[in-house]
Structure 1
């Protein structure tokens, strides 16, 4: 009788242990999602989040077959605020992964504190040059692009158009400097001037007067978020759109051209993706995004969606065991998923190798403002800094 009781007790203990292990296995993986959701640069953050969450919702609230809890945080585009959020996410919430980050100013402030703690950072927009080069990290994976990429292709386009001299304009932050640096790397003409404005500046009349006096063949400009709308509108009001072609990277996003309407038609910009990218994953993404959010997805949304697909593939490979950091790191590096951009491959520095294209602003058959691919001058393009990264 005693032996039978012991057997029942042992069996019951084993059942409880198995139940506890199953319950533990089903505990949601916490993922911190930090981006800018307020202020003049809030649109990219919300678009990234919408794209990311679309992929999560398509998978029933799971990534890699495991439930996930997404902790949404607004960094306000301020490095000091972002640093406080990171501390909370790591020390209080014990997140193994943080995704997002809109601004390079924020990325430069948080990348090292996150990765040095053994937490993985999946960048969905910002790709500062230092982090692609000597300051690369085994725990940092940028699923979007290196900042220079989107302007390098425009520099080549300016050569092709025969523009002999240009003026460059951007906001005075790391991302803007990187974008202008990319343009200059490929542009062979003369730079008449480089104009840097504060991130919070909304009146560009003095700078536009300054560049008008220089009579450039074209202007290349980069401004993030709603600053892009403000800048292009003032550029148009100054009469410059009729006399001086405006080239850009990061300005001709879907929300921006929807606000600018006809004034943006015929403008060109460089990127790695457009809504008309022709592959099954992208067609499904665009259709699902339009159905849910009632507008054409932007590049920011595509980056967020791809970031979720990257995590989905890596979490599945480690069967939800993110505590095995070496295995999870290897799974992220492998990037075994079908991307909205077609193929996806990380370079040695954990930045993607990309096809870079030029896009023209058009109206589609429904009368909506969007972009279409007109050329892909760069195939399998590697960023300019990967050789400085010691990782192999």
Structure 2
């Protein structure tokens, strides 16, 4: 009898181990891999690749199948791609999401299909308040925090007259509106431009005419290269200080911007100089593979995978969405950003860095931290009734 019980126990143990090893994570990754914002999407993919290499293609210790979707920066295309990811690929988790307008197009069908959404670089407040949902996690940031903290910084710098320029889309609107909510000076002009525009001569002429104390600009991708160059060529760089956000000031765009990209003050949720072990490991891996410093795009994607890995290593099955949601929300993970946590509306809470683009002692690009700021209060959280 004892022998029989031992054999039965061995069989049960083997079956359990077999079941665990058979679990597969089906990870969808959506980003603008082509089109005007392709540089951002491709950089996000690099962050994902570094994470996959770190975990030997086994996020959470599970066999990981990654399904790539190029949204091309277009909501219509994103809607088609999310249908493919859900109906044909049967993904467990949707990651990436570099553009807010794309996120708005894909979250409803993802949630309806009970897919977990980890938005690493799209941070609209639509999903932080009344539109919050148990399946949606803003693992990167909330757009508003860039405007709020930049407005405060400009006040401290004594900027009385400000001109605003940037891309004309949801994330931009969130940033411009939140900037104006804290900035106490006068906004003397605003010019919003489409993604396809890369000639800013008319807008820069307007800036020159009103003579502001500073210019705040939000561009990335192709426009993020073109704008600083034309700003410098116009002669404004020596007259009007340029402020921006992390998307326009990074090691990727500086290659196209040249010297025009130096001297820009921006704010970020991450910096390569953060000294914790996770960040040091990430920066080392990235530099070894790509020969430069990572960017916010790659860092936020990598950090999202650190979170997912930690959640899955608690032993949850990706197919058990309720358990996976709870693990993601509560697990302590070694974030490259340091001490972070989710608020009840599932927006990641974190500090921010004010930084300036400059050359280091070896003449290489770096973002020198000028100071840190406390994460602003999430104004949307009070309207979130998570069920």
TM-score by length of 1: 0.92
Distance in structure 2 (CA, Å) of the matches to 1:155 and 1:288: 35
Q: Is structure 2 residue 289 aligned with structure 1 residue 256?
A: no
Distance in structure 1 (CA, Å) of the matches to 2:22 and 2:109: 29
Deviation at 1:251, TM superposition (A): 1.1
Q: Is structure 2 residue 80 aligned with structure 1 residue 84?
A: yes
Distance in structure 2 (CA, Å) of the matches to 1:22 and 1:203: 59
Deviation at 1:268, TM superposition (A): 0.6
CA contact (8 A) 2:67 2:89 kept: no
Distance in structure 2 (CA, Å) of the matches to 1:180 and 1:318: 42
- The 5 A counterparts of 1:177-326 are 177-249=173-245, 250-319=247-316, 321-326=317-322
Q: Number of paired residues?
A: 380
Distance in structure 1 (CA, Å) of the matches to 2:383 and 2:208: 39
Deviation at 1:335, TM superposition (A): 3.7
Distance in structure 2 (CA, Å) of the matches to 1:18 and 1:41: 48
Deviation at 1:391, TM superposition (A): 2.5
CA contact (8 A) 1:52 1:306 kept: no
- The 5 A counterparts of 1:106-145 are 106-145=102-141
Distance in structure 1 (CA, Å) of the matches to 2:12 and 2:327: 32
Matched with 1:3 is none
CA contact (8 A) 1:268 1:359 kept: yes
- Secondary structure (helix, strand or coil) at the match of 2:198 reads coil
Structure showing greater radius of gyration is 1
Distance in structure 2 (CA, Å) of the matches to 1:278 and 1:62: 26
Gaps of 5+ in 1: 1-6
Deviation at 1:90, TM superposition (A): 0.6
Distance in structure 2 (CA, Å) of the matches to 1:259 and 1:367: 16
19-28 or 148-157, larger mean C-alpha shift: 19-28
Deviation at 1:48, TM superposition (A): 1.5
Deviation at 1:40, TM superposition (A): 2.2
- Secondary structure (helix, strand or coil) at the match of 2:173 reads helix
Deviation at 1:316, TM superposition (A): 1.4
Deviating 4+ runs (over 3 angstroms)? 14-21
CA contact (8 A) 1:170 1:177 kept: no
How well do the aligned residues superpose, as a CA RMSD in angstroms? 2.1
Deviation at 1:27, TM superposition (A): 4.5
